[in-house]
Amino acid sequence: MLRKIVGAVSIYLGLPKDIYFIAFARFLLGLGNFIIPFLVLLLTQKLGYSTTVAGGLAMGGLRGAISIRNPYRRKTCRQLRP
């Protein structure tokens, strides 16, 4: 098992340092994508927010939560129909 891992990693040895930097940066950015689901879980289960507000906060920050609760927001076409 260890030999397979070493063999898979050994093909990347000797690349320029820029490539390692880019790969590490992409790895960190990928970890950042896991924050949103955990943030929604925290907001709904621990802090008692509704799923609508928690989704708005997670996806749009404070601006997303305000747009959900704002009574003066623009109405959609579906809301304007009689």
| Percent with pLDDT over 90 in the chain | 15
The arithmetic mean of pLDDT across residues 47-75, rounded, is 67
Query: Considering the entire predicted model, what is its pTM?
Result: 0.48
User: Which amino acid is present at 38?
Assistant: F
pLDDT at position 64: 55
Residue-range domain boundaries for the chain: 2-32, 35-80
Q: What is the pLDDT of residue 78?
A: 53
pLDDT of residue 81 exceeding 70, the answer is no
The Cα 35–Cα 20 span in angstroms is 24
| Exposure string over 28-51, b if 16+ CB within 10 A, otherwise e | eeeeeeeeeeeebeebbeeeebee
Average pLDDT for 8-22: 88
